[in-house]
C-alpha cells in the first residue's frame, strides 16, 4: 500500500465509528467548506431556510424525472 493510502486509512481507523468525525476528516482532506453556514439568528429563520432548501430539492428531483 502506498504511504498516502496508508495515511488516510489510519486517519479513518482513528475515527472509529464516529461518522461525524469521518465526514469532517474527508471534508478537510478535500478542502470542502460548509455549503450551508448557519448565520441565522432565530430558530424560525433556520426552519424557514431549511424548508426552502428541502422544497427546492424536491422541485429539482421532480423536474429531473420529467
Q: What is the pLDDT of residue 34?
A: 61
Q: Is the pLDDT of residue 55 over 90?
A: yes
* Cell output for 65: 424525472
For the chain, the domains span: 1-33, 37-66
Is 0.85 topped by the overall pTM?
A: no
3-state secondary structure 24-62: HHHHHHCCCCCCCCCCCCCHHHHHHHHHHHHHHHHHHHH
Quick one: average pLDDT of 10-25?
Answer: 83
20-53 tens-digit pLDDT: 888 887 787 777 776 666 666 788 888 888 899 9
Amino acid at each position: 500500500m502506498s504511504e498516502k493510502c496508508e495515511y488516510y486509512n489510519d486517519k479513518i481507523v482513528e475515527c472509529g465509528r464516529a461518522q461525524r468525525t469521518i465526514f469532517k476528516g474527508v471534508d478537510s482532506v478535500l478542502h470542502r467548506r460548509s455549503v450551508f453556514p448557519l448565520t441565522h439568528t432565530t430558530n424560525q429563520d433556520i426552519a424557514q431556510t431549511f424548508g426552502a432548501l428541502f422544497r427546492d430539492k424536491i422541485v429539482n428531483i421532480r423536474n429531473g424525472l420529467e
